[in-house]
Amino acid sequence: MRQEALRVMGTRPKPYVMAHRGNSAHCPENTLAAFRRAIDDGTDAIETDLHVSADGEFMCIHDGTVERTTNGRGAVKSMSCEQLQSLSASYGRAEFASERIPMLHELLAILPKNTALALELKCDDFLEEAVCLRLWRLLQETQTDDRTVVLSFSRERLRAVRRYTPQIPVGLITLFDWLPGEIGELAGPWWPFTFLNPLYVWMAHRRGQLTCPLDPTPEPRLWYYRLLGYDTVLTNDPALTLRALGRPGKK
C-alpha cells in the first residue's frame, strides 16, 4: 500500500487495524456478513482472499476447495460463479445459512470510502496478464484502486502483478524470511520473526515499506508491535483489537 493510499485513514493513530477475512471471529470468514461486521466495528482495512472461478469471476474464498467453509464439494477453479454462489458459506453455523461466497465486486460495493482493502492472491490465474488487467479495471471502475494493496506468499504472482499492472501496490507475506523481502510496498512477516529480529520494522521502513505482522490474534503482543512501530495489525476480531488499542471503534 503506497503511502498516498493511507490518506483514507485520515488522522487515525497507528497501528491501523486490518480485518482478517472480515470479522472472522464472530462470522463465517470471507462472507458479506463478516465484512459488514468488520465495517460496523470500525476497522481501518479489510483483508480477503481471491480465487478465480471457472468462468473468470473473482471470488472471496481462502481455500482452493469449498469443503471447509461451505456445504459443497469441489475445486473453486472447476466451478462457475453460479455454482459457487449456490452453496451456503455458513461454515456450518445455522444462523448464517443464507451467506454465500461473495464475488469481489460485492465486497467493493459495500466498502466505505475511508476503508482500505488488501487482496491476497490465492491462485496462479494471477500470473496471467488478462487476469491482472481485469482486476485493475474492476478496482478502477469501483473507485477503490487508490486504497487497495495486493498480497501474496508467492513472489511469482506479485511479480506478475508488478509486470502487468504496476499501478497496484503489492506486499509479500512470508512464513520463512526474517528479513524484509525485496519486493513490494508492504512487508508481512510471520509474527515470531518480529522477536527474532527486533530491527525488522526499522529495516522495512528504511526500504520504504509499510509493515503488518502475520498475526490474526495480536492482542497479547500489541504492546510490542506498537513499540517497534508497525504500521498495521491483522486481526480476526477488529472490535476487540480496537478496544485493546484504546480506540473507540466505529469511525
- As annotated, the active-site residues are 20, 62
C-alpha grid cell, residue 231: 504500521
Cβ contacts of 81 within 8 Å, gap of 6 or more: 53, 55, 57, 59, 103
Please tell me the distance from the alpha carbon of residue 238 to that of residue 152, in angstroms, as a whole number: 22
**DSSP letters of 157-216?**
HHHHHHHH-TTS-EEEEESS-SS--SSBSEEEEBTHHHHH-TTHHHHHHHTT-EE--B-S
The alpha carbon of 14 is separated from its chain's Cα centroid by a whole number of angstroms, namely: 18
Nearest CA-CA partner of 27 in 72, 84, 70, 91: 91
Query: What are the grid coordinates assigned to 111, written together?
Result: 466498502
Q: What phi-psi label fits residue 21: left (phi over 0), alpha (psi between -120 and 50 degrees) or beta?
A: left
Contact 20, 44 (CB under 8 A): no
